[in-house]
Amino acid sequence: MPGHDEPTAVLPESAFRPDVAALEQQLAEARAKADEHYALYVRALAELDNVRKRAVKDLEQAHRYGVEKFAQELLPVLDGFELAQATGGAADAKSLLEGQAATLRLLLKAFEKAGIAELSPTGQRFDPQQHEAMVAQPSADAPPDTVLQTIQKGYVLNGRVLRPARVIVSRAP
């Protein structure tokens, strides 16, 4: 085999003597850096735990007081009903109707602020996700599966059905 005939070079004994002081210095620096990183890691864990606890607390508060804003919007509606109740015997029919209309406007305004919208689908295509068919009625005027009449309005909260609209649906004659 070629290359085996060459003599092996022997290094002096001093070639293997490491600089112990330099290695100890490097080791001390590495340990200090590791300790610093570990302290940062422990702080980060503690901060993460604090964030998690704060999020849980905020979520509990949101569940507990989530309807507070809506309830505040409903208080004027309650005041209107109480006023109507208190003055109902002495008031004339016209002022009672005006009071009811004002109270209804307050209620609709509160619903709007809360993201509650009416479903009144008369004339629209029947959608079983938003409508509840009470009766299927033959109709020559409307295509099948069209809402002919809304018996009871439905309501949605930010796109999610709270109560489906109760409707009369057309069918082929």
Q: CA-to-CA distance for 112 and 157, rounded, in angstroms?
A: 10
Q: CA-to-CA distance for 28 and 42, rounded, in angstroms?
A: 21
Q: At a CB cut-off of 8 Å and minimum separation 6, what does 123 contact? A: 146, 147
pLDDT higher at 125 or 88: 125
What mean pLDDT, rounded, does the chain reach? 88
Provide the pLDDT for residue 84.
Answer: 82
pTM for the model stands at 0.60
| pLDDT band, very low/low/confident/very high, at 1 (cuts 50, 70, 90) | low
* pLDDT reading at 142 higher than 90: no
Element (H, E) at 108: helix 93-114
Q: CA-to-CA distance for 67 and 122, rounded, in angstroms?
A: 31
Taking only the tens place, the pLDDT of each residue in 28-82 is: 999 999 999 999 999 999 999 999 999 999 998 887 777 888 888 889 888 888 8
Residue pair 168/122 in contact by the 8 Å Cβ criterion: no
* pLDDT reading at 125 higher than 90: yes
Q: Which residues of 11-35 are buried (b: 16+ CB within 10 A; e: fewer)?
A: eeeeeeeeeeeeeeeeeeeeeeeee
